[in-house]
Amino acid sequence: MFLLTRIDKQSLFRQLFKLGTSYSCQIVSYQKLLGQLHDAGNTTTLAHYLQLLSNAGMLTGLQKYSGSEIRQRSSSPKFLSLNNALITSQSQYTFKDAKLDTNFWGRLIENAVGSHLYSATIGTKLKLMYWREGSYEVDFILQNGSNLTAIEVKSGRLRESLRGFDLFCKQYNPKRKLLIGQGGISIEEFLLTPASEWYN
C-alpha cells in the first residue's frame, strides 16, 4: 500500500500515526492535531494520510453522524486503532497495570468493540460513525441504509452516564440499541459474535 503511494511528508505521516493511536477512541479536530505536530502540513494532507492508514488497516478516523453528508464530512474525526496492539505497543503498561488503570483499560475495550464493528463495514455499504452533541456522546453509530444501530460501551470508566445514548435514541429513533459491557451484552459475547448479527 505505502510502497505504491507517494508520501511527501514522511515525518508528518509517522507523527500522525503515533498521535492517532495515542488518541484512539477520542474525538480530535485536525486543527488541534496540527498544533501538536512538528512538521508543516494542512488539514487536507492529514485527512489524506489518515485515509492511507485506514486503507492499510492500521488507523482510521470515524465521521460524526449528523443526518447530513456535508456536516459528516467536515466533522472532527474520532480516532480508532484497527488493532489494539497498536495502542499497547506504545504504552509502558504491563497487562496487570493496564487492567488497573480503568481509563486506559476502558479505552482498549471500546477500541476492540469499534475495530470489530469497523471490520464488518469493509467491502459493504455499511458506515461506522460516532455521535456527539455538546457534552452528549454515543460511542458508535452503525448505519445500514436508512437503519441505524446505536452502540454504547460501558467499560467501568468514570463516564458511565447514558444520557447521550438516550438523547440520540430520542432524536433519531434507531432500529437497534446495543449496550455492551456492564448491564448489557458481555464484551466476550459481542466480540465472539459475527458483527452482522448486531445490525440485521
Q: What is the pLDDT of residues 49-75, one digit of tens each?
A: 899 999 999 999 999 998 766 555 668
Same domain as 110, residue 76: no
CATH code of residue 112: 3.40.1350
Same domain, 187 and 118: yes
Yes or no: say if 59 and 81 are a contact pair by the CB < 8 Å rule.
Answer: yes
pLDDT, residue 39, reads 62
Greater pLDDT, 24 or 29: 24
Q: Same domain for 66 and 111?
A: no
Q: Cell numbers for 30, please give them.
A: 485536525
- pLDDT class of 41 with cuts at 50, 70, 90: low
Asked if residue 169 is part of any domain, the answer here is yes
Residue where the block lists cell 500522525: 16
What integer pLDDT is reported at residue 80 of this predicted model? 97
Do 171 and 130 share a structural domain?
yes
Query: In the structure grid, which three cell numbers stand for residue 192, read together?
Result: 465472539
User: Could you read off the pLDDT of 139-160 as tens digits, one per residue?
Assistant: 999 999 889 999 999 876 555 5
Q: Is residue 95 part of a domain?
A: no
Count structural domains, the chain.
2
Average pLDDT score, the chain: 87
Asked if 71 and 161 sit in the same domain, the reply is no
Write down the pLDDT at residue 38. 62
54 in the same domain as 126: no
Average pLDDT over residues 31-58: 81
In a domain, 100, yes or no: no
Asked if residue 63 and residue 35 are part of one domain, the reply reads yes
Same domain (yes/no): 110, 181: yes
pLDDT, mean of residues 78-89: 94
CB of 90 closer than 8 Å to CB of 21: yes
Evaluate whether residue 17 is within a structural domain: yes
Residues 58, 115, single domain; the answer is no
Print the domain residue range for 27: 1-90
CA-wise closest residue to 75 among 131, 146, 139: 131
CATH number of the domain enclosing 10: 1.10.10
Same structural domain, 110 and 198: yes
Q: Is the pLDDT of residue 189 over 90?
A: yes
Q: How is residue 56 annotated by DSSP?
A: T
Q: Dmax of the chain from CA atoms?
A: 48
